[in-house]
Amino acid sequence: MKTYTTNELKNIVLIGAPGSGKTTLAEAMAFEGKVIDRRGSIEGENTLSDNTDLEHEYKRSIYSTLLFTEFMGRKLNIIDTPGSDDFCGSLFSAFKVADVGVMVFNAQNGFEAGSEIQARYARTLGKPIIGVVNQLDSDKASWESTMESIRTASRVTPVIVQYPVQVGPTFDSFIDVLMMKMYRFKDDNGTREELEIPDDQIETARELNQILVEAAAENDEQLMEFYFEKGTLTQDEMRHGLKLGLAKRDLMPIFCASGKKDIGTKRLMEFIINVAPGPATAPKFVSTDGNEIAADPEGPVALFVFKSQMEPHLGEISYFRLLRGKLTEGMELLNSRTGNREKISQIFVVAGKNRVKVTEMLAGDIGCTVKLKGTRTNDTLSAPSAPVAIDPIVFPEPRYRVAVKAVKTGEDEKLGELLNKAKYEDPTILVEYSKELKQTILQGQGEHHLNILKYRLSTENKMDVEFMAPRIPYRETITKVAQADYRHKKQSGGAGQFGEVHLVIEPYYDGMPEPTKYKVNGREIPVNIKGKEEYDLEWGGKLQFYSSIVGGAIDARFLPAILKGIMEKMTEGPLTGSYARDIRVVVYDGKMHPVDSNEISFKLAGRNAFKEAFRNAGPKIMEPIYTVEVLVPSDRMGDVMSDLQNRRAMIEGMSSDKGFDRLTARVPLAELYRYSTTLSSLTNGRATYTMKFSSYEQVPADVQEKLLKAYTDSDKDE
């Protein structure tokens, strides 16, 4: 295989809602570039993309797949991504290294919620988009309704480059208003003939050509002058204007296709080669110190790893984009994260499962290497003489969480290793053992996302796991002042134990004044501050600890033990065993024994005095509240809102957003278990949501009562 120069490369990512036909279109592109000599099919389970047993079973993309094709003396690197939002991590990785997105629309469904989700990602990441209306050969295909939905919902202006002569099973031709030709296809293998536009279509074609000319001219003053002078533009001038408009995300050129019949694939690829931005013209990558990295093949080598994968019998595969320089076999590069050197023993270009070994690669290209020692997704490898680190991919926050454990006892360590490997391949999977909840918490983008992981653990690793509803990390606090005394006394032969602590507790809030006195149960307790300690608790909130002991009632050396006892009880609150927070404690009196008093005595006295005072201080349970933003088709808004209200949600705002409604609510985490499944069921998979931690708030009285009944306090006074 030849070594392609930077100017001979294009990097695209195929995006679109589930079922839009991205994989079939990618297959047609590879076929047209002679990378394969026959096209596979989803049904035949023999496509370059969707090449895993799991994808064959589900008949849909679950992982992103890198492939390439060679066309017109150029190389197109193509990343086929899953349509499901559960697997959006692959999309973020692909967008990082691709210069343009090809948005595939299903002509039966038009601009779907999945289209909006992926368009939003493209917008966030600043990537230009080319639109392809696919499956125009389907029974229920509609060009008019699809275009209307795109015009209504897209934030980027669609500009028609092609339109079909007819749709449905007889779809075999389209009018190209850039070329001003009709293309008719003779078979299902892309064999086309170029014809003049029929008389009954010429007027429509001219109108759309004029719109295309104006859209191209608007992007350049000189083109606008040419347009005013001549009333039109040449094809090259139009391409130049479209190139500028596409790069600025001012327009989205629209093409016709049937990936299944290989209709329109060549013209789409020709347009990508002639118009889409390539490595030399696309926005430059930016290093963590703010410097731009130009795609200079003469510069020192720098590559960015965007995907890591484990493969049986081969080990770790690292997929990368070469940002700068010329990469050759045997080169040693520096990992900017670890500071270690990695040897590039082999270089491959990739077409699905097929890897073609090459000896060198130039800036802008995408490929993979194997058996790197400590390199993973988001790492930068660069020449030791010019070290650089690239801004990492920022993956979305998780939206679904479960507790996980091995079915067989004694396999927890093995499970932990397997989950860490899964996280290595998919950074949107988060794994954490919570000491607070005493559970291993697994987080991902949705129930299907984590069920796929569960399936893989079972089939590939013979590890059966159980998913459970995760416990909720509640917090406990108090609402009023309370006082308590506790004497710890123990005599069992020899030295005894004695410690007595008197303390007051009250709710803490930022900016509250220093204590001077308390009135509790009709009794006034003066406060003479002798010492103050303030702690930002690792689980959130604060603890203020004051010493107000006069007359040496308790020796100062025992105060740390009292604080330790209090802190121990705050890690296991008296109500539900959850962490306590936002409390001020004032130790104002007590007693000690000249022989029997020691640190353990005062630790236990402080712990139990705090526990007793806590229960008398109007204790409240606090729960984590998340801000949830739901993007839902307007016709399902009522169902979604009703469901959220049943989840104790507080609706904060609603707005319309080009055919979709955006709903913002604050929802208790306890009510969000399996929400992604419910939302999908309510909207037939047409809605999506994000969730982010907001704050802790007190639970309603009825909820607190249920929680208290469900919890059996296992504390025993020591």
pLDDT at 400 over 60: yes
pLDDT at 416 over 50: yes
- Report the C-alpha gap between 456 and 312 in whole angstroms: 13
Q: Are 325 and 364 in contact (CB under 8 A)?
A: no
Q: Other C-beta atoms within 10 Å of 620: how many?
A: 17
Domains of the chain: 9-192+251-275 (3.40.50.300), 295-382 (2.40.30.10), 400-471 (3.30.70.870), 476-618 (3.30.230.10), 621-706 (3.30.70.240)
Q: What are phi and psi of 91, to 5 degrees?
A: -70, -40
> What pLDDT, on a 0 to 100 scale, did the predictor assign at position 493?
66
The one-letter amino acid at 512: M
Q: Are 532 and 587 in contact (CB under 8 A)?
A: no
> What pLDDT, on a 0 to 100 scale, did the predictor assign at position 201?
96
Q: pLDDT tens for residues 542-560?
A: 999 999 998 889 999 999 9
Q: Other C-beta atoms within 10 Å of 358: how many?
A: 19
Write out 12-76 in H/E/C secondary structure.
Answer: EEEECCCCCCHHHHHHHHHHHCCCCCCCCCCCCCCCCCCCCHHHHHHCCCCCCEEEEEEECCEEE
Burial zone of 125 (CB within 10 Å; 0-12 exposed, 13-18 middle, 19+ buried) = middle
The one-letter amino acid at 615: R
- Maximal CA-CA distance, the chain: 113
- Under the banding of pLDDT at 50, 70 and 90, the label for residue 442 is very high
Structure tokens at 460: 């590939």
Q: What is the mean pLDDT of residues 464-482?
A: 95
- Under the banding of pLDDT at 50, 70 and 90, the label for residue 718 is very low
Q: pLDDT tens for residues 556-579?
A: 999 999 999 999 999 988 888 899
Q: pLDDT tens for residues 83-121?
A: 888 898 999 999 999 999 999 999 999 998 788 888 888
Q: pLDDT tens for residues 600-639?
A: 999 999 999 999 999 999 999 999 999 999 988 888 899 9
pLDDT at 138 over 70: yes
The pTM score is 0.85
